[in-house]
Structure 1
């Protein structure tokens, strides 16, 4: 056989990640159980036992489905089906989402670090009150056993407003949906809501002290923290 006749070597197939396998199984369950939009999935404990995985591993797969809008995880209720999707479309969406996460982190670092710097220079009494209110909301949510996502969002909105930079605020609004994806994934990590709240307090303290360099550094540390998500490990 000549060199021209030798077939090219086959590439090694990538082994599906565990959360992808779980997502496939969850979608298969939704199909076999005949669930419709608005129906509630079994409790996490029951699902984890059926699938033979830890609740932490199952939670990662549920968050992946939540990010893609397949389910809505409601505190005190559980996972509610929003729409039925094919396995192929969901896995494709997950891989696309995973590939763009580093770009989202890069954009957040570029914008939010500067916003924190400016907030420390320009904040008003009303801005500080809004920041404190957001911190209180997140604390209350965590105390109630929730992830604190709404308070987290309010905090970053308050810091953005305190910078008094309309163009940067518009850019943050533009990437808002993408930031929401990372927020959901980050706050689903064990212990992350409490860690995130603590780093929010450090940012707030620097803004209140009118220390731009410290505020920027605290925001960068916060973004480094919340960017550590299981999907990228």
Structure 2
């Protein structure tokens, strides 16, 4: 009797960059249509045999896929592709580009630049007040520990677009934000405040063009900073 994973056409991987290759092979099951949203993946032992990898490598890949929102692991039930994955295609693309930092940063820029222009038209006074509160939190943070306030600032803007079609994009935005944020070694609070205040002012005056311009300047600064740090680590 053939193992279920064999029927799905899972290919074995080479010994280099094992975890990333496992991510790609599993995502390919979804992209190719061999499995669909909500389907259960083969058991770990079968995947280990088919992919010819250790349990630690497989679990590293599964953890990455879970963080990206592609799969859910349920105790005593198994591992499943998420039911909403079909409406969150960006999560799948991010899974395939997990080690392509420039592409991840550009994806974040594309998402946020579009969302901020819509936000300029739709953001409410209550959301503006919450946005201002995050700016105050950053200004009053100790030891430049303001990562959560920074994330909340960008999330409020994304949610203020108030468009159900963009729900999956917002999830992907948070994924890219977390990935990029983890690479920032030295924070520059005054620069962050300068960018956030300018974006806030543009949103308060309902000016999409100004909101776009200031968000671009902010994200371009972050892009150059993160990529420069990445180059020093190679």
Name the TM tier (shorter chain): 0.5 to 0.7
- Partners of 1:147 and 1:193 within 8 A in 2: no
Q: CA deviation at 1:131?
A: 0.7
What's the counterpart of residue 100 of structure 1? Answer: 100
Pick from 200, 203, 217 the counterpart of residue 199 of structure 2: 203
Partner of 2:230: 231
Contact 2:151 2:177 in 1 (8 A): no
Q: Give the Cα–Cα distance (whole angstroms) in 2 for the partners of residues 146 and 231 of structure 1.
A: 21
- C-alpha distance in 1, partners of 2:208/2:134? 20
Q: 1:171 offset after TM fit, Å?
A: 1.1
1:173-214, Cα deviation, whole Å (9 max, x unpaired): 13423321212323x22x523212210111111000110000
**Aligned-pair CA distance for 1:163:** 1.6
Is residue 2:165 matched to residue 1:167? yes
Q: How many residue pairs were aligned? A: 135
8 Å Cα contact 2:139/2:189 also seen in 1? no
1:192 partnered with 2:188: yes
Q: Which residue of 1 aligns with 2:217?
A: 221
Q: Which residue pairs with 1:5 in the alignment?
A: none
Q: Where do residues 67-216 of structure 1 align in structure 2 (5 Å cutoff)? A: 99-141=99-141, 144-186=142-184, 188-189=185-186, 191-216=187-212
Tell whether the 8 Å contact from 2:116 to 2:208 is kept in structure 1 after alignment.
Answer: yes
Check whether the contact 2:139–2:193 (CA below 8 A) recurs between aligned residues.
Answer: yes
Structure 2 CA distance for partners of 1:223 and 1:133, relative to 1, 3 Å:
same
Structure 2 Cα separation of the partners of residues 175 and 123 of structure 1: 18
Please give the TM-score of this superposition, normalised by the length of structure 1.
Answer: 0.53
Distance 1:212 1:175 in 2: 19
* Cα deviation 1:144-196 (Å, max 9, x = unaligned): 1133101101100111122212332421213423321212323x22x523212
- Tell me if the contact between 2:159 and 2:170 (Cα under 8 Å) persists in the aligned partners: no
Greater alpha carbon shift after TM alignment, 158-167 vs 102-111: 158-167
Unaligned runs of 5+ in 2: 1-62, 65-96
Partner SS, residue 185 of structure 1? coil
In structure 2, distance between residues paired with 1:161 and 1:197: 21
